[in-house]
């Protein structure tokens, strides 16, 4: 792809949740091989921005482009290039670790075999827990089940991770930090939120800082609803 077209571009994004305008006229672009950290205090809209980025919500105004095309038009072609791990992990309590990974890969259009799922679970330190019902795992282990996706779908160019280091022990934080750096330095894009100052040795880093929005008055809410 031509270097003149950014791989990812946010153009004049406006986001309202509930009665709060979280941000407006948000512009950002980056090329392949970039780590993007979204920073800001609690409630400023970091998770909301990630949800916009992966297409789970639509902005009130503006466009999100991937390789120069709107993600809402690309649909599956965009999802195939994406791994999104939200802070709720996306793991189902009643399923075993292996089943969760297999299903998440299937939903994400990156199907894998059971054998490969077990290899990925081993890489995140869950050898022996493959058949364990997720409800019976610790918070950190549940997080690891979700993060096994990054090994299973490492070819997906864009990783979007909401608070990926939460609940992980020191060794797992270091492993994940290295894995993220490796992905970025080999041409991927990783967008993450974190309140933890974890060093990640990516060659190119960008930060989007959210400062907090404003409450909308009744009059403005009426206008928003009429849009």
Q: Specify the residue, 186 or 196, whose C-beta has the smaller distance to ligand ATP.
A: 196
Write down the least CB distance from residue 162 to ligand ATP, Å.
7
Q: According to DSSP H, which parts of 108-206 are helical?
A: 114-123, 139-152, 170-185
Is the sign of the CA dihedral 182, 140, 57, 104 positive or negative?
positive
* Contact present, 78 and 71 (Cβ < 8 Å): yes
Q: Which residues pair with 26 in a beta bridge?
A: 13
Cβ neighbors of 15 (< 8 A, separation 6 or more) are 21, 22, 23, 24, 26, 45, 48, 49, 52, 57, 59, 60
Q: Specify the residue, 136 or 214, whose C-beta has the smaller distance to ligand ATP.
A: 214
CA dihedral 101, 107, 113, 114 (to 10 degrees): 30
Write down the least CB distance from residue 48 to ligand ATP, Å.
3
Write down the least CB distance from residue 77 to ligand ATP, Å.
26
Write down the least CB distance from residue 213 to ligand ATP, Å.
8
User: Other C-beta atoms within 10 Å of 218: how many?
Assistant: 7
Instruction: Quote the DSSP letter at residue 182.
Output: H
Q: Specify the residue, 24 or 123, whose C-beta has the smaller distance to ligand ATP.
A: 24
* Contact present, 32 and 98 (Cβ < 8 Å): no
Write down the least CB distance from residue 55 to ligand ATP, Å.
16
Q: Specify the residue, 39 or 132, whose C-beta has the smaller distance to ligand ATP.
A: 39
Which residues would be at the binding site for ligand ATP (CB under 6 A)?
17-18, 20, 22, 40, 42-48
């Amino acid at each position: 792809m031509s270097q003149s077209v950014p791989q990812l571009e946010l153009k004049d994004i406006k986001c309202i949740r509930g009665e709060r305008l979280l941000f407006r006229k948000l512009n950002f672009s980056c090329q392949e091989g970039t780590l993007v950290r979204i920073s800001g205090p609690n409630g400023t809209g970091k998770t909301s921005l990630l949800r916009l980025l992966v297409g789970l919500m639509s902005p009130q105004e503006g466009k999100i482009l991937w390789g120069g095309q709107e993600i809402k038009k690309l649909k599956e072609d965009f999802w195939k290039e994406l791994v999104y791990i939200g802070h709720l992990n996306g793991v189902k309590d009643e399923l075993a670790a292996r089943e969760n990974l297999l299903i998440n890969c299937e939903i994400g259009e990156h199907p894998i075999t059971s054998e490969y799922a077990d290899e990925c679970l081993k890489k995140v330190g869950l050898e022996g827990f493959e058949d364990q019902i997720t409800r019976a795992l610790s918070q950190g282990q549940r997080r690891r089940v979700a993060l096994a996706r990054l090994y299973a779908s490492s070819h997906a160019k864009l990783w979007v991770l909401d608070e990926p280091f939460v609940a992980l022990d020191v060794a797992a934080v270091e492993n994940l930090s290295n894995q993220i750096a490796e992905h970025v330095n080999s041409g991927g894009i990783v967008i993450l939120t974190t309140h933890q100052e974890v060093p990640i040795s990516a060659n190119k880093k960008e930060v989007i800082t959210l400062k907090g929005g404003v409450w909308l008055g009744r009059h403005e809410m009426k206008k928003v609803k009429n849009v």
